[in-house]
Amino acid sequence: MSFINVEIKAHCEDTQAAEQVLKQQQAKFVGEDHQVDTYFPVKEGRLKLRTGKIENALIFYQRPNQAGPKRSDISLYQAEDLSGLVSVLEAALSVKVVVDKRRRIYFIDNVKFHLDEVEGLGSFVEIEAIDYEGKLGEKYLRQQVDEFKELLKISSEDLLERSYSDMLSTHQL
């Protein structure tokens, strides 16, 4: 499956307040997941294997590092259990970095929200407007992200340009 999304990631000192806003908007709570993302070195883009109770996928994506909304082009393979694949990829590619997080997942229509506690980094919120069928367009996705950014009172200073994996690789926020 391939699709695009537009997303932001931001520091969030109070994920409970963000969660209350999502509940007021009647966001659908998918659940809380303990996710381990194992990143592998590739020539361009990012390749990660996500293992959790809710989400399990091999994901390749290309996305620029910038603080504001950014487009990602994603190729995704989902399966219920990918744990055996980790050792194969480790042997073939080595491991670049591992991101261990607790994630509360919400949806409003095509927009996915992550309230994350990332080991070694802290608390974050992510907003991902997703176009699974190629019918919404990047401009509309950006508008959705901007609207929810305002609703959640995310300031420009809190926006991150780098991924959790990049931050853990360099040990910097």
Q: For residue 101, which of 65, 126, 74 has the smallest C-alpha distance?
A: 126
pLDDT at 73 exceeding the cut of 90: yes
What are 85-88's contacts with CB under 8 Å, separation 24+?
85/49, 85/58, 86/38, 86/49, 86/51
Q: How far is CA 60 from CA 74, 122, 149, 150, in A?
A: 6, 25, 26, 29
155: Cα separation from own chain's centroid: 18
Q: What would you report as the CA-atom Rg of the chain, rounded to the nearest whole angstrom?
A: 15
Is the pTM here over 0.85, yes or no?
yes
The CATH code of the domain that includes 39 is 2.40.320.10
Q: Band of the pLDDT at 80, cuts 50, 70, 90?
A: confident
**Total number of domains constituting the chain:** 1
* CA count, 13 A, side-chain hemisphere, 61: 24
pLDDT tens track for 120-158? 999 999 999 999 999 999 999 999 999 999 999 999 999
pLDDT score of 171:
65
Q: Band of the pLDDT at 173, cuts 50, 70, 90?
A: very low
118: Cα separation from own chain's centroid: 12
Buried (b) or exposed (e) across 59-78, using 16+ Cβ within 10 A? Answer: bbbebeeeeebbbbebeeee
Q: Which two tokens stand for residue 3?
A: 């699709």
> Residue 146's domain spans which residues?
2-170
